[in-house]
């Protein structure tokens, strides 16, 4: 089955879903709603980009939600209590996140442990450290925060494309370029295809693993910074369970949980679908927000079933290309 097929399916679901929503609530089809959707899900889009790399490489990263939580607390404390200038605090927290991700990658590679276990430990660790730092919600009042939230590009129709939405779009574009156009990206797919074969082909599997988890944690850190802009606060309980929303977005976007196949654009569509469900529920007003979870769950089932079905179909109809024409050997 082609990766492009599953992206096409995701896109079709998004368009159809959006059309249905717009039929019921015509107001949904406005730049304002769409721009808000991007803003509300900016942090999710950023972590999901990192998660896409991890999952394509055949791994999983359960620590991202906690890393977001840690980042918001750390930034809030650094800026409000320790008097560190905001940009220095951002740089510092990203370095910490990079080290954290690198450590998880190194443990996974060196001790040959399942990523699930290692990142599960990372999840508890990062959440625990944020509690150690502070258990209360710390409002951030630095001027840069209000400046950033005031900034927006006005769209025709009244929408406001906020700074954090722009940041997400930029990161998605960069991630897509990294994944689809570079050697690093090709190696990520290779790892998901087969670790041993990749190693035998001379790719440094260890440093690749480290770099992939580092990327995921750094993007989670960036998502945390974005989240702190979104809420203007740091709180150790923020983004609990976000790792699962992220994985759901990636899988709905057509990335195989077994690795080796997927795309950033698919992930973006997956994030939009989740955002759309959320928006619908907000518009309806009578539905509890838990319906988002239920709808996401149903969609996940449908998508996984679809993927399997399509794959079986592709396998059945796959005729090995007979066009292997022998030609003369130049000697």
Partner 1 sequence: MSDSSAPPAARPSLLEIRGLTKSFGALKALQDVDFTLGEGEIHALLGENGAGKSTLIKVVTGVFARDAGTVRLAGDEIAPRSAKDAVEAGIATVYQEVNLLPNLSVAQNLYLGRQPTRFGVVRQAEMRRRAHALLLDYGLDIDVGAPLASYSVAVQHITAIARAVDLSARVLILDEPTASLDRHEVEILFRVMRKLAADGIGIVFVSHFLDQVYEICDRVTVLRNGRLIGTRDITDLPRLDLIRMMLGRELAETTHERAASQPDTAREVCVSFKGFGKQGYVAPFDLELRRGEVVGLAGLLGSGRTETARLVFGAERADSGEASVAGKAVRLNSPRDAAGLGFGYCPEERKTEGIVADLTVRENIVLALQARRGLHRPLSRREQDEIAMRYIRMLDIRPPDPERPIGLLSGGNQQKALLARWLATSPKLLVLDEPTRGIDVGAHAEIIRLVRDLCEQGLALLVISSELDEIVTYSNRVVVLRDRAHVEELKGDAVEVSSILAAIAADAPTAQEVAS
Residues interacting with partner 1, by CB under 8 A? 177, 181-183, 186-187, 189-190, 192-194, 196-204, 260-261, 316, 318-331
**Count of CA atoms in the C-beta half-sphere (13 A) of 152:** 17
- Nearer to partner 1 by Cβ, of 178 and 281: the residue is 178
CB atoms within 10 A of CB 225: 24
- Nearer to partner 1 by Cβ, of 57 and 130: the residue is 57
Least Cβ distance, residue 251 to partner 1 (angstroms): 17
Least Cβ distance, residue 326 to partner 1 (angstroms): 5
Least Cβ distance, residue 195 to partner 1 (angstroms): 10
**CA dihedral (91, 229, 231, 213) positive or negative:** negative
Structure tokens at 189: 């797919």
> Are 165 and 35 contacting, i.e. CB atoms less than 8 angstroms apart?
yes
Structure tokens at 238: 């923020």
- Nearer to partner 1 by Cβ, of 285 and 326: the residue is 326
- Nearer to partner 1 by Cβ, of 81 and 180: the residue is 180
DSSP state of 26: G
Q: SS3 letters for 90-121? A: HHHHHHHHHHHHHHHHHHHHHCCCCHHHHHHH
N-term to C-term CA, the chain = 38
Q: How far apart are CA 102 and CA 39, in angstroms?
A: 29
- Nearer to partner 1 by Cβ, of 82 and 329: the residue is 329
CB atoms within 10 A of CB 96: 19
Least Cβ distance, residue 147 to partner 1 (angstroms): 33
- Nearer to partner 1 by Cβ, of 215 and 233: the residue is 215
CA 195 to chain centre: 23
Helix spans in 232-289 (H): 242-252, 264-284
Least Cβ distance, residue 259 to partner 1 (angstroms): 8
- Nearer to partner 1 by Cβ, of 199 and 281: the residue is 199
């Amino acid at each position: 089955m082609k990766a492009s097929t599953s992206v096409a399916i995701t896109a079709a679901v998004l368009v159809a879903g959006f059309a249905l929503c717009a039929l019921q609530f015509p107001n949904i089809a406005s730049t304002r709603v769409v721009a808000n959707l991007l803003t509300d899900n900016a942090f999710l889009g950023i972590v999901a980009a990192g998660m896409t790399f991890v999952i394509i490489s055949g791994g999983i990263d359960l620590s991202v939600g906690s890393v977001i939580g840690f980042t918001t607390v750390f930034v809030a404390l650094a800026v409000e209590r320790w008097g560190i200038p905001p940009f220095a605090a951002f740089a510092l927290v990203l370095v910490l996140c990079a080290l954290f991700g690198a450590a998880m990658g190194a443990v996974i590679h060196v001790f040959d442990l399942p990523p699930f276990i290692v990142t599960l430990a990372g999840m508890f660790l990062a959440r625990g450290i944020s509690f150690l730092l502070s258990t209360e919600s710390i409002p951030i009042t630095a001027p840069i925060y209000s400046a950033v939230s005031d900034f927006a590009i006005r769209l025709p129709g009244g929408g406001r494309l906020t700074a954090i939405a722009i940041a997400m779009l930029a990161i998605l574009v960069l991630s897509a370029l990294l994944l689809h156009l570079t050697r690093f990206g090709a190696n990520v797919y290779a790892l998901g295809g087969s670790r041993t074969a990749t190693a035998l082909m001379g790719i440094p599997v260890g440093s690749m693993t480290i770099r992939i988890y580092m990327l995921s944690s750094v993007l989670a850190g960036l998502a945390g910074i974005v989240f702190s802009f979104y809420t203007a606060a740091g709180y150790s309980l923020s983004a609990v369970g976000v790792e699962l929303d992220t994985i759901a977005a990636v899988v709905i976007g057509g990335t195989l949980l077994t690795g080796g196949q997927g795309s950033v654009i698919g992930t973006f569509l997956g994030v939009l679908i989740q955002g759309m469900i959320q928006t619908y529920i907000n518009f309806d007003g009578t539905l509890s927000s838990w319906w988002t979870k239920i709808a996401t769950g149903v969609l996940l089932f449908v998508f996984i079933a679809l993927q399997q079905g399509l794959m079986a179909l592709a396998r059945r109809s796959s005729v090995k290309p007979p066009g292997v024409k022998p030609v003369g050997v130049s000697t």
